[in-house]
Amino acid sequence: MDLSHILLLVVAGLAAGGVNAIAGGGSLITFPGLIATGLPAVDANVTNSVSVFPGYVSSVAGSRADLAGQGGRVRAVLPAAVLGSAAGCVLLLATPGRVFEVVVPFLVLAAAGTLAFQERLRGLVGHPRVMSRRRAAVTLQVVVLVGAVYGGYFGAALGVMYVAALALILDEPLKRINALKNVLSAAVGLVTVLVFALFAHVHWGAVAVLAPATVVGGYVGARVARRLPARVLRYVIVAFGTLIGLLLLYRAII
């Protein structure tokens, strides 16, 4: 890498770390950045997954105040996050990605739409307050598992999808849901780091540049997210999700 590539990755890492903490979707910044440095698409995807993990960890640190009282919930869903992300990694390494690339944009757009029309959808599926404890627990496990499979495979806008789904089934303020999303994203990221480090072609020089930048961006972004009003945070997440979905759709059809 030359100096221009290094500067490009630093800027992309800072932006992606902040976006991941606030709304999710930062991988759509770092992934094209890695492509621009000349990496093949699969290598860029794998390297990107490893690079953004430290940013997820710093996002957890930045939002730890909103995790108070959620320890039991986190412990309950972590196994599903680990198993799902491992399955997603296997899919990435063992299967062609063209079909999933076509499906991903619609998943992301659906997630953004789910969050945008959250209250209307709650009227159809039932407010979390009227859900039985068993139904809420099972639904939470399914949501975490499916999201983790997606995160292990590609991961762009994983945060958007998690926030949209969790907001439907948890009777919590959006800031606390966003903090839970950060923990789940970090768990998925840890599994991808371990799997890809052992079985994929990671470009560690790019990781050495991107990872510290995502840490700084993730911590600052999480602090910003805590200060945003719930309505503003929702609008930001919906906007990012819609933009990411459209960009992914454009990439899939060209």
For the chain, domain boundaries: 3-253
More confident residue, 127 or 222: 222
pLDDT at 208: 95
Locate the DSSP E strands across the chain: none
Q: How many CB atoms lie within 10 A of CB 11?
A: 14
Structure tokens at 62: 């930045």
DSSP state of 165: H
**Band of residue 83 on the pLDDT scale cut at 50, 70, 90:** very high
| Average pLDDT score, the chain | 86
Structure tokens at 11: 């800027």
pLDDT at 113: 85
Whole-model pTM: value is 0.82
| Distance (Å, whole) CA 23 – CA 235 | 10
Q: Amino acid letter at 45?
A: N
- The yes-or-no verdict on residue 122 having pLDDT over 70 is no
Most confident range (mean pLDDT) of 34-43, 96-105, 176-185 is 176-185
Percent of the chain past pLDDT 70, that is, above it, reads 96
Most confident range (mean pLDDT) of 15-29, 92-106, 183-197 is 183-197
* Cα angle 207-249-98, degrees, rounded to a multiple of 5: 70
More confident residue, 240 or 230: 240
DSSP state of 25: -
**Band of residue 126 on the pLDDT scale cut at 50, 70, 90:** low
More confident residue, 125 or 137: 137
- The yes-or-no verdict on residue 130 having pLDDT over 80 is no
